[in-house]
């Protein structure tokens, strides 16, 4: 298998892992903290805590994770064929 495809498969799995982390974060805070009665909600900046942690803070955390992942784990791969021009 071409080295570029192995790198692409690895980076695709990293992307899938990031999506799963995002879903677990969102679901955990959204349904974990949001399952209480409305009268029992705590608020952060005027937003329910479950919404703040799952949507606002979750987005910030995922943006940072994606930036770090791209900078540290992804590789620059040339698009040209290594063996020369294909006719």
How large is the greatest C-alpha to C-alpha distance in the chain, in angstroms? 69
Summarised one tens digit per residue, pLDDT across range 36-51 is: 888 889 999 999 999 9
Q: What's the chain's average pLDDT? A: 89
Q: How is the chain split into domains, by residue range?
A: 3-72
Residue 64 has which token pair? 């940072």
In three-state secondary structure terms, 46 is: coil
| Position 75 confidence tier, pLDDT thresholds 50, 70, 90 | confident
List 43's β-bridge partners, or say none: 48
pLDDT higher than threshold 60 for residue 26:
yes
Q: Give the global pTM.
A: 0.81
pLDDT higher than threshold 90 for residue 84:
no
């Amino acid at each position: 298998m071409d080295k570029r495809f192995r790198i692409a498969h690895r980076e695709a799995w990293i992307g899938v892992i990031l999506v799963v982390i995002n879903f677990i974060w969102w679901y955990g805070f959204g349904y974990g903290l949001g399952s209480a009665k409305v009268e029992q909600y705590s608020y952060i900046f005027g937003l329910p805590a479950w919404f703040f942690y799952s949507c606002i803070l979750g987005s910030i955390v995922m943006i940072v994770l994606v930036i770090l992942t791209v900078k540290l784990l992804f590789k620059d791969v040339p698009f040209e064929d290594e063996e020369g021009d294909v006719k």
